[in-house]
Amino acid sequence: MKIAVVGPGAVGSYYGAKLAHAGQEVHLLLRSDYDAVKRHGVFIHSPDGDFNVRPKCARTPEEIGVCDLVLIALKATANDQFPLLLPPLVGPGTAVLTLQNGLGNEESLAKLFPVEQIMGGLCFVCLNRTAPGVVRHTAHGMVILGEFQRWPEPRTHDIASMFRNAGVNCKVAENLMQAHWEKLVWNIPFNGLGVAGVAGYEALIDPLVPIGPRASLGPVLTTDKLLADPRWENVVRELMHEVIAGAAALGYKIDVSAVDKQIERTRTMAAYEASTLVDFAQGRALELDCLFLEPLRQAKAAGAKVPRLEALCRVLQQINAV
């Protein structure tokens, strides 16, 4: 397949490199990393084995042209760039697959392309970009694929097989939105509290506690720190149960046993920094809307009571504004 990767940061570079290593024709749409990747390729450092690949590199989508598959790994804060970046890559038969976090990304794509071309993918992986064209993969890596507003199609299973042939554990979701909410059970507490914790426990509990300038806030709370402190672990659990309640109000049933399972799985990650923590540490805007605010809006609209999620969103909005 001819594949374009739009937004080759940690996630895009890792999965693009895995597909290229398996022999697929992969094109990376690059900006600041162009020279480094063009010269040296992409390096993946992983407990599964290190490797280096040299995918095709481009600075503009026009250089790549129409593809069979477009993988979108942009930060959701850059979704306003879809009309500029995507049309030159997409023809009538192109599958457009977003690997972005949170809710609303497929809806943004549906403003540009027919529903039947749009897919969503959820990446359960621990990795970070450590330098231009260099990704450190530490654990996991499964991808769950689904069709937007449709049942799985033959092409859904074909693309899943392509990922599996590249050494990526890949499953097909019968219901993409159900899968999104299942991932939010982990993403909301560990991405959100990791950053909100810099303002202190009291700021999350008491809406009257002021939050100082962003530059004066403390270090982020990695997964191990959140689970080492009983106060934070309790908030993690409360948020997980609220996300499950929000999903249930929308008709997506998630078993409460997922709380204990996900916490125990997270303990194996050691001091992992989720993507929102990395964005905060590097001074970038946080992915608030898709990852936190849209789930809050949908849960409340469905009648769910989510006070801890409301408090988390309030703190994150204040941090993001300074």
Residue 150 DSSP one-character state = S
**Burial bucket for residue 264 (CB in 10 Å: 0-12, 13-18, 19+):** exposed
Residue 124 and residue 198 in one domain: no
Active site residue 183: yes
Instruction: Name beta bridge partners: 25.
Output: 2
- Per residue in 85-132, pLDDT (tens digit) is 999 999 999 999 999 999 999 999 999 999 999 999 999 999 999 999
**Annotated catalytic residue: which of 2, 56, 183, 225?**
183
Which CATH number is 162's domain given? Answer: 3.40.50.720
pLDDT of 24 above 80? yes
Cα separation, 269 vs 261, in Å, equals 13
Residue 310 token pair? 């409301």
- Domain coverage including residue 192: 179-321
Q: What are phi and psi of 118, to 5 degrees?
A: -100, 135
Which CATH number is 243's domain given? Answer: 1.10.1040.10
* End position of a domain, from candidates 122, 142, 174: 174
Closest CA to 232 of 280, 196, 257: 196
pLDDT band at 14 (very low <50, low <70, confident <90, very high): very high
- Per residue in 118-176, pLDDT (tens digit) is 999 999 999 999 999 999 999 889 999 999 999 999 999 999 999 999 999 999 999 99
* End position of a domain, from candidates 174, 203, 227: 174
* End position of a domain, from candidates 122, 139, 174: 174
Spell out the residues 6+ positions from residue 215 whose beta carbon is closer than 8 angstroms to its own: none
